[in-house]
């Protein structure tokens, strides 16, 4: 996955919408590099404890994200508890994808507000 | 925890190796945390959820892998369209043939009978001195009535033709006369109305009739109020009481099924009808009591049969009864034949698989570099095998899909053109069962054609292969596998061609038999049913025949007209026993012969050969001296070494006035007029029809060459009596063809399959030898540089090919020797190990192999030593 050059917007759009679990993992890594269990904990706290990824799903998606070049594996130098742990980091391309997904969801939410499913945002 | 580990174990190897430790560690951490926060129950709930999640992960990983393999396979196959087309076409042909034959075998032989609880249905078979016979009603009734513990229900029946009048045009109908419980025995409910009860069939009760759904629709406009109406059959009034459902098929013992439109009823023991003791024309079926097995039938029946033999020695001394399952009785006769054809398509499938495996091996050899690279970057051997098997599966599946389409075509053709003697042929369809079977065949092909190439190409030594890739170094295991495959192909092909050769030889022997009459110029009318109700006396019926013949003779182009009780090649035959005057025989052990009452010109019109004595004349009438003509077989059998003419015999078949001395004088001997290609000539007695009036008659008409008098004959009959149904007139040659239709089908099926197998084998030999020549280009170059000439090179290549062919032929001869036993029942005048067939087929296969090898062998001689050596 040498140089993760930015890719075209159309290319990114074709990968949307992301699966919910995929998006959670990207969000978790957007907050900083984490190992697998760290991702599980982060997703749990992001979702107020409602989503607890199973290790099976987690690593299946990690494998996929690595293959797509959206995340990268880094050496576990962030020390502490366990050196054997592998840490994962969001790549620039992964960041683009996560951003695109967030924008897509934002637009969806805007529609929901328009339809009065959510209270309007205070504009000033 | 254990479950979690098990689920992890299910994950694909590479995934497990990469993430197994992490997954286990994370699970342990999360589990510990859950226990700390939510207690043991919470932790266990989490463990269960995580295990399920991991299990689904395993499935999704496999699915993703398979998806990758499939898309890779599609890409790889698209890159070599001609290879793909050849393989798919080969498999489509073989799989299609299998699907079609399976559909036929399934519908005809394997499918359960279309009756309620068919496993409890049996047929009772009457035997007379060991040969097939029919029941008379009194014997049948005694046997079934006294075995109530064995039989829950039973019926005896025979076919009968009826003329329906009073509804539109007079209509000739196929009917069945049966004892009352036929439908109950077969587990059938009426579509409308009811079936008769026993009281309605006794003498004096009003006659009742049940009709088919089809007749109800055509003749009664599907009107429900037709039930209870009066219907005239042969001029007699019957009350219509029920309609038989459209999907009912009347069983016909030893022949399969019969289309019937009307059923009339007889009392169980025939009392008070024409069908009393001595009228042996009935088939019998029975339903076993629940829990009673077929083996219980024979002892129970035998007791009664022995008593019958003591009580009626002249009738029943040689009488015996066997019981078979009804399925055997109806479809057993074609089982061996269809299984033989099934075995043949199976052999073609194996040949096709061998050919495809061969092509795949060559293809794998040319992709060596691709596999080596994949192995080098970490793909496991299992992954490469899986990948190659998926490719083969894609090919086999495409072949299967095309094969199904092909099978639809073959089955449609078969249904439209099937021999009439194959039961249930009209119900053959490519149904769900056939498609499932085809899917099974596809999987079989994948493994049979794909396993060897997949293993051979995955076991390459990486370093060696990478070094050799691009050069012509063949791994010897692939070459050996190819040779073995071709030898197997040749073996299967030889066996198939031998089978086909035997069948062809048998067919030639069968149809080359002299039948004793001129078949080309004669047309016949199958059975004009002159109704007793309107032609009350024998004289009236004969007068009608005489008028008809006179009318036909007056038609221009008609050169001769004769009539007989049954036409040549027809299946309706009557038999009799007879005594020879001056030769006492123990009662009940009199010899038997077929009886044919014939009109005066019979032998002249059929161009039969009179071997001695005279033919019948118009003077052989009722009232004049009773005479018979016998055939050659009878004369040879019973009067060996002397003339039969002038001898006296007493046929047991009755003559109308009982007070006349039934002794008859033999006045002539004719060459055997065979009633069929397939049956041996039997002793036969011809009587002047006027001296044994039996009713139904067939006209035999000789017309001028090149004319077709069928329409004129039919019109002439109807013009003399408009109440008669229009008779069916057919050319004798077409009856000839019908009588050997099954044999024709066998010949067509086996020869075309043998041809396919031979073509595939030639292609296989060609491919292997070509490949070998390509691989040895360098060697040939060196040899030629060292002075070998073209003939030596050709000799080397052909020698290699011949060694292969001879091994195949050796195995094939063994397979054929064992396999042709399957055919032995189908062969006429041909030994299953017929040396001529075996020898000529062996020669054929050798020549075919030589020709297949010759083209690549000649190419080997054109190797330019300089070019070949340059690569060194």
Q: For residue B283, which phi and psi values (nearest 5 degrees)?
A: -90, 150
Yes or no, beta carbons of B22 and A86 under 8 Å apart:
yes
Asked if residue A17 has a cis previous peptide bond (ω within 30° of 0), the answer is yes
Question: How many Cβ atoms sit within 10 Å of the Cβ of residue B75?
Answer: 9
Asked if the C-beta of B23 comes within 8 angstroms of chain A's C-beta atoms, the answer is: yes
Asked if the C-beta of B65 comes within 8 angstroms of chain A's C-beta atoms, the answer is: no
Burial of B173 by CB count in 10 Å (0-12 exposed, 13-18 middle, 19+ buried)? buried
Q: What is the pLDDT of residue B28?
A: 87
Yes or no, beta carbons of A56 and B29 under 8 Å apart:
no
Yes or no, beta carbons of B18 and A37 under 8 Å apart:
no
Q: Contacts of residue A56 in chain B, CB cutoff 8 Å?
A: 7, 11, 23, 50, 53-58
Q: Contacts of residue B49 in chain A, CB cutoff 8 Å?
A: 52, 54
Yes or no, beta carbons of B49 and A54 under 8 Å apart:
yes
Contact B540, B530 (CB under 8 A): no
Question: How many Cβ atoms sit within 10 Å of the Cβ of residue B192?
Answer: 15
Asked if the C-beta of B19 comes within 8 angstroms of chain A's C-beta atoms, the answer is: yes
Q: What is the pLDDT of residue B525?
A: 55
Contact B718, B547 (CB under 8 A): no
The closest alpha carbon to B279, from B406, B404, B139, belongs to: B139
- State the nearest Cα–Cα gap between B59 and chain A, in angstroms: 11
**Across-strand partners of B626?**
none
How do B208-212 and B319-325 pair as beta strands? Answer: unpaired
Give pLDDT tens digits along chain A (124 positions). Answer: 334 455 677 777 788 888 889 999 999 999 888 888 889 888 988 888 888 888 888 999 999 899 888 998 887 655 555 556 788 989 998 899 999 999 999 999 999 988 888 887 766 5
Q: In what order do the strands lie in the sheet with A71-74?
A: A34-35, A87-90, A71-74
Yes or no, beta carbons of B56 and A40 under 8 Å apart:
no
How far is B157 from B275, CA to CA, in rounded Å? 11
A vs B, Cβ pairs < 8 A, gives: 59
* CA-to-CA separations, B113 to B213, B214, B249, B250, in angstroms, rounded: 20, 21, 9, 11
DSSP character string of A50-85: S----HHHHHHHHHHHHHHTSEEEE---S-SS-TTP
How far is B404 from B99, CA to CA, in rounded Å? 7
Compute the radius of gyration of chain B from its Cα atoms.
37
How do B684-688 and B592-598 pair as beta strands? Answer: parallel
Distance of CA B800 to the CA centre of its chain: 41
Contact B458, B385 (CB under 8 A): yes
Yes or no, beta carbons of B61 and A36 under 8 Å apart:
no
CA atoms within a 13 Å half-sphere pointing along the CA-CB vector of B564: 27
* CA-to-CA separations, B193 to B211, B244, B245, B250, in angstroms, rounded: 11, 9, 11, 19
The closest alpha carbon to B655, from B680, B674, B627, B683, belongs to: B627
**Across-strand partners of A88?**
A34, A73
- State the nearest Cα–Cα gap between A119 and chain B, in angstroms: 36
Q: What is the pLDDT of residue B813?
A: 93
Q: What is the pLDDT of residue B695?
A: 62
Yes or no, beta carbons of B29 and A37 under 8 Å apart:
yes
Crossing angle of helices B741-775 and B777-785, in 10° steps, is 60
Asked if the C-beta of B279 comes within 8 angstroms of chain A's C-beta atoms, the answer is: no
CA atoms within a 13 Å half-sphere pointing along the CA-CB vector of B596: 29
Burial of B53 by CB count in 10 Å (0-12 exposed, 13-18 middle, 19+ buried)? buried
For CA atoms A55, A59, A65, A69, give the dihedral sign.
Answer: positive
CA atoms within a 13 Å half-sphere pointing along the CA-CB vector of B99: 34
Q: What is the pLDDT of residue B261?
A: 92
Asked if the C-beta of B148 comes within 8 angstroms of chain A's C-beta atoms, the answer is: no
- State the nearest Cα–Cα gap between A17 and chain B, in angstroms: 19
The closest alpha carbon to B477, from B489, B464, B467, belongs to: B464
- State the nearest Cα–Cα gap between B15 and chain A, in angstroms: 8
Distance of CA B435 to the CA centre of its chain: 20
How far is B440 from B452, CA to CA, in rounded Å? 19
The closest alpha carbon to B824, from B364, B470, B380, B503, belongs to: B503
Tokens (6 digits) for B845 = 């296969």
How far is B220 from B53, CA to CA, in rounded Å? 67
Q: Tell me the pTM.
A: 0.75
Burial of B546 by CB count in 10 Å (0-12 exposed, 13-18 middle, 19+ buried)? middle
**Residues in A lying within 8 Å of B, measured between beta carbons:** 36-37, 40, 52, 54-60, 62-63, 84-86
Contact B18, A46 (CB under 8 A): no
- Residue B262: helix, strand or coil by DSSP? strand
CB within 8 Å of chain A, chain B residues 67-106: none
How do B627-631 and B664-670 pair as beta strands? Answer: parallel
Burial of B136 by CB count in 10 Å (0-12 exposed, 13-18 middle, 19+ buried)? buried
Q: What is the pLDDT of residue B470?
A: 43
Kindly list the averaged pLDDT for each block of 10 residues, start to end, along chain B of length 872: 80 83 87 86 87 89 88 87 89 94 91 89 86 85 92 92 81 89 93 87 84 92 91 89 90 84 90 79 93 91 90 81 90 84 92 90 80 79 86 94 95 87 85 94 93 76 49 56 86 92 89 68 62 77 83 84 76 74 77 83 84 87 86 88 89 65 88 74 84 74 78 82 79 73 85 90 86 81 84 88 91 90 80 90 92 87 73 54
Tokens (6 digits) for A70 = 């959206």
How far is B377 from B454, CA to CA, in rounded Å? 19
* CA-to-CA separations, B470 to B181, B464, B762, in angstroms, rounded: 80, 12, 29
**Across-strand partners of B729?**
B525
**Across-strand partners of B699?**
B525, B563
| Domains of chain A and any CATH numbers | 17-114 (1.10.10.10)
* Residue whose structure tokens are 């999987």: B443
Contact B686, B565 (CB under 8 A): no
Q: What is the pLDDT of residue B668?
A: 92
How far is B230 from B167, CA to CA, in rounded Å? 11
Contact B511, B740 (CB under 8 A): yes
- Residue B128: helix, strand or coil by DSSP? strand
Contact B696, B565 (CB under 8 A): yes
Non-local (6+) Cβ contacts of B466 within 8 A are B369, B372, B373, B376
């Amino acid at each position: 996955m040498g140089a993760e050059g930015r890719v075209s917007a159309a290319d990114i759009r074709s990968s949307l919408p992301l699966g919910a679990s995929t998006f959670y993992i990207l969000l978790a890594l957007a907050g900083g590099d984490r190992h697998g269990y760290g991702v599980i904990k982060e997703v749990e706290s992001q979702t107020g404890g409602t989503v607890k990824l199973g290790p099976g799903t987690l690593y299946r998606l990690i494998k996929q994200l690595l293959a797509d070049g959206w995340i990268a594996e880094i050496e576990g130098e962030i020390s502490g508890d366990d050196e054997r742990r592998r840490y994962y980091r969001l790549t620039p391309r992964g960041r683009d994808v996560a951003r695109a997904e967030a924008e897509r969801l934002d637009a969806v939410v805007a529609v929901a507000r328009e339809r009065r499913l959510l209270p309007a945002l205070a504009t000033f | 925890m254990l479950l979690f580990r098990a689920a992890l174990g299910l994950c694909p190897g590479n995934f497990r190796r990469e993430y197994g430790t992490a997954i286990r560690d994370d699970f342990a951490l999360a589990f510990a945390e859950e226990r700390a926060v939510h207690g043991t129950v919470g932790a266990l709930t989490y463990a269960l959820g995580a295990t399920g999640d991991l299990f689904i992960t395993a499935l999704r990983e496999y699915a993703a892998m398979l998806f990758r393999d499939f898309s890779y396979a599609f890409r790889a196959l698209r890159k070599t369209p001609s290879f793909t087309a050849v393989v798919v076409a080969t498999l489509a042909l073989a799989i299609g043939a299998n699907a079609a034959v399976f559909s036929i075998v399934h519908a005809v032989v394997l499918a359960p009978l279309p009756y309620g609880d068919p496993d409890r249905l049996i047929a009772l078979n009457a035997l007379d001195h060991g040969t097939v016979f029919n029941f008379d009603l009194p014997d049948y009734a005694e046997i079934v009535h006294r075995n109530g513990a064995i039989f829950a229900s039973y019926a005896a029946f025979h076919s009968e033709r009826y003329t329906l009048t009073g509804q539109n045009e007079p209509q000739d109908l196929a009917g069945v006369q049966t004892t009352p419980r036929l439908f109950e025995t077969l587990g059938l409910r009426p579509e409308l109305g009811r079936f008769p009860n026993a009281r309605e069939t006794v003498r004096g009760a009003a006659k009742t009739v049940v009709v088919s759904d089809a007749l109800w629709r055509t003749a009664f406009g599907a009107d429900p109020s037709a039930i209870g109406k009066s219907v005239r059959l042969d001029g007699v009034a019957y009350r219509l009481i029920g309609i038989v459902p459209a999907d009912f098929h009347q069983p016909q013992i030893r022949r399969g099924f019969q289309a019937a439109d009307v059923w009339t009823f007889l009392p169980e023991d025939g009392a008070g009808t024409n069908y009393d003791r001595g009228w042996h024309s009935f088939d019998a079926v029975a339903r076993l009591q629940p829990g009673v097995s077929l083996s219980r039938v024979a002892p129970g029946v035998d007791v009664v049969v022995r008593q019958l033999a003591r009580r009626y020695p002249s009738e029943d001394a040689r009488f015996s009864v066997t019981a078979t399952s009804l399925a055997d009785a109806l479809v057993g006769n074609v089982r061996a034949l269809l299984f033989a054809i099934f075995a043949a398509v199976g052999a073609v499938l194996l040949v096709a698989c061998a050919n495809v495996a061969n092509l795949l091996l060559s293809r794998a050899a040319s992709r060596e570099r691709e596999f080596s690279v994949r192995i080098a970057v970490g793909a496991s051997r299992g992954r490469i095998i899986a990948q190659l098997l998926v490719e083969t599966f894609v090919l086999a599946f495409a072949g299967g899909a095309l094969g199904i389409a092909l099978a639809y075509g073959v089955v449609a053709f078969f249904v439209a053109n099937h021999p009439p003697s194959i039961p249930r042929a009209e119900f053959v369809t490519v149904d769900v069962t056939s498609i499932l079977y085809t899917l099974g065949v596809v999987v079989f092909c994948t493994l049979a054609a794909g396993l060897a190439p997949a293993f051979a190409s995955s076991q390459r030594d990486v370093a060696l292969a990478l070094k050799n890739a691009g050069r012509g170094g063949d791994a010897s295991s692939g070459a050996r596998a190819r040779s073995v495959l071709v030898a197997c192909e040749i073996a299967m092909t030889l066996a198939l061609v031998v089978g086909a050769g035997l069948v062809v030889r048998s067919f030639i022997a069968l149809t080359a038999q002299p039948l004793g009459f001129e078949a080309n110029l004669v047309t016949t009318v199958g059975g004009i049913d002159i109704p007793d109700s309107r032609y009350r006396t024998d004289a009236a019926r004969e007068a009608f025949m005489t008028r008809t013949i006179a009318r036909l003779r007056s038609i221009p182009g008609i050169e001769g007209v004769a009539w007989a009780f049954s036409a040549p090649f027809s299946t309706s035959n009557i038999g009799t026993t007879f005594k020879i005057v001056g030769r006492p025989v123990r009662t009940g052990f009199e010899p038997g012969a077929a009886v044919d009452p014939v009109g005066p010109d019979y032998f002249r019109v059929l161009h039969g050969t009179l071997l001695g004595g005279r033919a019948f004349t118009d003077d052989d009438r009722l009232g004049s001296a009773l005479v018979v003509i016998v055939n050659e077989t009878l004369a040879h059998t019973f009067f060996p070494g002397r003339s039969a003419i002038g001898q006296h015999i007493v046929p047991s078949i009755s003559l109308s006035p009982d007070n006349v001395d039934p002794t008859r004088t033999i006045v002539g001997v004719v060459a055997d007029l065979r009633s069929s290609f397939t049956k041996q000539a039997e002793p036969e007695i011809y009587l002047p029809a006027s001296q044994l009036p039996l009713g139904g008659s067939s006209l035999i008409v000789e017309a001028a060459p090149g004319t077709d008098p069928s329409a004129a004959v039919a019109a002439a009959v109807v013009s003399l009596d408009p109440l008669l149904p229009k008779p069916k007139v057919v050319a004798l040659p077409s009856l000839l063809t019908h009588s050997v239709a099954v044999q024709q089908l066998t010949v067509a099926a086996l020869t075309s399959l043998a041809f396919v197998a031979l073509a595939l084998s030639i292609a296989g030999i060609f491919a292997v030898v070509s490949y070998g020549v390509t691989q040895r280009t360098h060697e040939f170059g060196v040899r030629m540089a060292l002075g070998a000439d073209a003939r030596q090179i050709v000799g080397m290549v052909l020698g290699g090919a011949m060694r292969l062919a001879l091994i195949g032929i050796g195995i094939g001869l063994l397979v054929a020797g064992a396999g042709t036993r399957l055919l032995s029942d189908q062969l006429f005048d041909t030994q299953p190990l017929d040396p001529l067939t075996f020898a000529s087929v062996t020669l054929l296969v050798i020549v075919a192999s030589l020709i297949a090898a010759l083209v690549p062998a000649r190419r080997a001689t054109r190797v330019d030593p300089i070019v070949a050596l340059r690569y060194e």
